[in-house]
Structure 1
Amino acid sequence: MKRLLSAIAFIAAAQLAAAQGFDNLPDPVEDVNKVVDNTPDSIAKALMSRPEPGTTRKGDNPVLFLIGNSTMRNGTKGDGSNGQWGWGFFASKYFNANKISVENQALGGMSTRTFYTKLWPMVRKALRKGDWVIISIGHNDNGPYNEGRARAVIPGVGTDSLCVTIKETGEKETVYTYGGYLRKYIAECREAGAHPILMSLTPRDAYDEKTGKIVRKPQTEWAAYVAAQEGVPFVDLNEISGSKLDSYSKWKEQYHFFGDHIHTSAYGAEMNARSAAEGIAASRNPDLKPLQDMMMGVQLPVVQVTREKGKPIVFITGDSTVKNKDSDKDGMWGWGSQAYTVFDQDKVTCVNVAKAGRSTRSYVREGRWEQVYNTLQPGDFVLLQFGHNDICPIADAKERGVIPGTADTCHVYKMEKDGRYEVVYSFGWYLRKMIDDCREKGATPILVSLTPRNEWPHGKVERRNDSYGKWYREVVEQTGVDFLDVHNISADFLDRKFASKSEEKSKKAASRYFNNDHTHTSLAGARMNAQSVAKGLRDINSPLAAYLKKGK
């Protein structure tokens, strides 16, 4: 009811302003933080780089057209080369490509008005019966009505209009309300036999000082009003994503944006794409049933594990030193496979979710961390052990290198394998992300230093305390996370047994704890590192120590 009354109030205000003349029209709406999108995308370039409307159609399958601005398609090519991504890039992952094509026709800098006058006619010609059109636009409906970018619309949902003359060209144009343009899109979709869906705008990195929450845009109320008035489906993307951002830490909320307070990073764009899909999938509007039947992958990916009442889960993340082939008694083993030797399985469930060859970056990028995050429940524990694969080439075929150190920094890199752009962060940044995610879910993160290697400079085992060790300690200082220094605990054990004046002698003697090379451990080495984990937990008096076997 509040939304309806608010919309009616805006209608009345707009109608009154129109009656009073051009000079008294209401100013275009801005959020409380005065955030403005000035994305200078070129329409001429866009027409060459974007798919021609309708050309992605497969046979007689329908097309889902996306209508929006830079929050849906950032940059003329929308390829993330500037570190910013629109959610339209990721939308296709939620639809079955054998049943429907997703075509992102959005362009940065467009308003509801300028998209309708400049780009919509080409989309309109491509529409066929049975197609779908998501209309989520309005961030740029501000500025002058009749000069410069001339993209402002009359606020509200009324039927009033304004005739303007563009100063630079002398061209005459009739400007309508926000709701007026939405009704035009809807009517023309229906004329073509297509199905329009109104969707509210993506949230911005802008807080309402009164509520302390992300600003909710007034266009949401207007779009909801028009959708109800016209009988078309409405998805409140602004609220779905806004609620997620509200639940995050301030640091996490901010890295969902990149470069400014409007445009999203890959994290933010993927969040918005999922929110859009979730909104469609959860809708009870029967008109959306055919589209829902063409969707896929909306359910959150999780780790497949059976929970037992009263037993927390210990998720063990990492690389091949944590999880290897773990089968041949004379082969390579990760210590996670031996967690059962130190943890009391009657009290806690150990789940080894490590993956060989992964760094902090690749573990996150491949969605492995997302599965852990989605599975976490209050009371769970997460052991985070990375490092062996992190400091290496960033853009090569393995795509796993990170920026050395712990600074809150990042850079856009072009991948050699496929020319894809990716924003890569520091080693410490990825660790902080996982730590922050754990705490958000009520789980306890525990940082674990990397296992030592079978290298013996001057007859003592190699210690990497000036690189990884330093970075772990910095992350501990930054976050207050519990820290298990397995690197030095295991190294102390090896030194006690095998230190000598001969590098070769020590290395050969210690080889029983390693297999194949200087990094990967044998079964004996895996058990040694598992014992070091247990010792470390007791040394720091970790709550997880209560779940260890007695005497371990």
Structure 2
Amino acid sequence: MNRLETKPKLVMAEEAPSKPVTIYLAGDSTVSNYPNSLFPRSGWGQVLPTMLDKEVTIRNFAKRRRSSKSFIQEGRLNSILNSIQKGDYLFIQFGHNDEKVNYPNLYTNPDTTYKSYLKQYIVGARKKGAIPVLITPVQRMSFSSSGRALDTHGRYPAAMKALAKEENVPVIDLASKSKTLYQQLGAVKTKKLFLWLKAGEYPNYPQGVEDPTHFQEYGATQIAKLVIEGIEEQHLPIENHILPKYR
């Protein structure tokens, strides 16, 4: 009598589900969120969530008029460290307000205290098993008379990159990337990135505004794309969560 042969049941391997992850943002006004009452003013951290999938949560702790020093002294870094979990990210962009030598509560020396304050973010994140990522400060809008985009942050970007090398921390050179973008666009088109508005163009700015530091929504989106580009260049695991249209 023939025995019936039974074939082993084919089990389809399922892809391991993605683990939810949170990116914490520590920074200044160029990173922070803004209310509708200030639209179209936006920080790049405000639009970054639109470029990542639903497994990623962005917690934007960036605040206007903060430096690497004042952010810590106000307890804002501690607030992040009390919540951050193993495998999360801490993105750190400071420099705009660290430069303000006439404001001792903000100022840091790029060769000394700037680096020592930034190191506190790195050490704190690593103690919690999180991944610190340094981001050099995005450039302000400034062009020479010949139309050349200028550096606007002195020694701060180089100091941050030096610290990244010393501490073996990923660094996204947003200062360089934004300068290149401005150069490609030219002085006139770069204004479209910034809160550089004509009178009556937006209800929230009836008199218009000419701000070479802060972005309108379109500009914040372009800067956020540069951050995404940096994530990919650094091959951070979070790159797997970038939406296809932004790859």
TM-score > 0.5 by shorter chain = yes
Aligned to 2:22: 313
Q: What's the CA shift for 1:464?
A: 4.5
Deviations 1:477-505 (A, max 9, x none): 2101001111222222221121xxxxxxx
Aligned residue among 206, 219, 226 for 1:525: 219
1:512 aligned onto 2:192: yes
Aligned residue among 82, 102, 108 for 1:402: 108
1:469 aligned onto 2:163: no
- 1: CA distance, partners of 2:37 / 2:153: 32
1:438 aligned onto 2:125: yes
- Count residues with an aligned counterpart: 214
Residue type of the partner of 1:320?
S
CA contact (8 A) 1:394 1:402 kept: no
- 2: CA distance, partners of 1:514 / 1:464: 15
Aligned to 2:207: none
CA contact (8 A) 2:142 2:152 kept: no
2:107 aligns to what SS in structure 1? coil
- 1: CA distance, partners of 2:33 / 2:228: 20
The TM-score normalised by the length of structure 1 is 0.37
1:550 aligned onto 2:244: yes
Identity %: 27
Q: What's the CA shift for 1:316?
A: 1.1
1:453 aligned onto 2:140: yes
Pairing of 1:238-249 with structure 2 (within 5 A):
none
1:388 aligned onto 2:96: yes
Deviations 1:56-107 (A, max 9, x none): xxxxxxxxxxxxxxxxxxxxxxxxxxxxxxxxxxxxxxxxxxxxxxxxxxxx
CA contact (8 A) 1:382 1:443 kept: yes
Greater relative contact order (CA < 8 Å, ≥ 6 in sequence)? 2
Residue type of the partner of 2:135?
V
Q: What's the CA shift for 1:330?
A: 4.6
Aligned to 1:483: 171
CA contact (8 A) 2:194 2:212 kept: yes
Q: What's the CA shift for 1:360?
A: 0.3
Q: What's the CA shift for 1:512?
A: 1.2
Pairing of 1:229-240 with structure 2 (within 5 A):
none
CA contact (8 A) 1:326 1:337 kept: no
- 2: CA distance, partners of 1:551 / 1:466: 34
Q: What's the CA shift for 1:329?
A: 7.5
Residue type of the partner of 1:311?
P
Q: What's the CA shift for 1:395?
A: 5.5
- 1: CA distance, partners of 2:74 / 2:22: 22
Pairing of 1:35-74 with structure 2 (within 5 A):
none
Q: Segments of 4+ in structure 1 off by > 6 A?
A: none
Q: Structure 1: 5+ residue runs without aligned partners? A: 1-308, 408-425, 499-505
Deviations 1:17-62 (A, max 9, x none): xxxxxxxxxxxxxxxxxxxxxxxxxxxxxxxxxxxxxxxxxxxxxx
Aligned residue among 337, 356, 379 for 2:64: 356
Q: What's the CA shift for 1:310?
A: 3.4
CA contact (8 A) 1:324 1:356 kept: no
CA contact (8 A) 2:32 2:42 kept: yes
CA contact (8 A) 1:484 1:536 kept: yes
CA contact (8 A) 2:29 2:64 kept: yes
CA contact (8 A) 2:136 2:161 kept: no
- 2: CA distance, partners of 1:543 / 1:389: 30
CA contact (8 A) 1:402 1:427 kept: yes
Residue type of the partner of 2:150?
E
Q: What's the CA shift for 1:358?
A: 0.2
Q: What's the CA shift for 1:374?
A: 1.0
Residue type of the partner of 1:497?
L
Q: What's the CA shift for 1:511?
A: 1.1
2:82 aligns to what SS in structure 1? helix
Aligned residue among 17, 35, 40 for 1:331: 40
Q: What's the CA shift for 1:393?
A: 2.9
CA contact (8 A) 2:139 2:153 kept: no
CA contact (8 A) 1:326 1:334 kept: no
- 2: CA distance, partners of 1:513 / 1:326: 18
Bigger proportion of residues as strand: 2
Q: What's the CA shift for 1:517?
A: 1.3
- 2: CA distance, partners of 1:514 / 1:521: 4
Q: What's the CA shift for 1:403?
A: 2.4
Residue type of the partner of 2:22?
I
1:349 aligns to what SS in structure 2? strand
Higher CA-based Rg: 1
Residue type of the partner of 2:44?
W
CA RMSD of aligned residues (A): 1.9
The TM-score normalised by the length of structure 2 is 0.81
1:453 aligns to what SS in structure 2? coil
Pairing of 1:287-306 with structure 2 (within 5 A):
none
Deviations 1:341-378 (A, max 9, x none): 2111x221111110000000000000000000111110
Q: Structure 2: 5+ residue runs without aligned partners? A: 1-17, 196-209
Q: What's the CA shift for 1:469?
A: 2.0
CA contact (8 A) 2:21 2:87 kept: yes
Residue type of the partner of 1:467?
R
Residue type of the partner of 1:489?
K
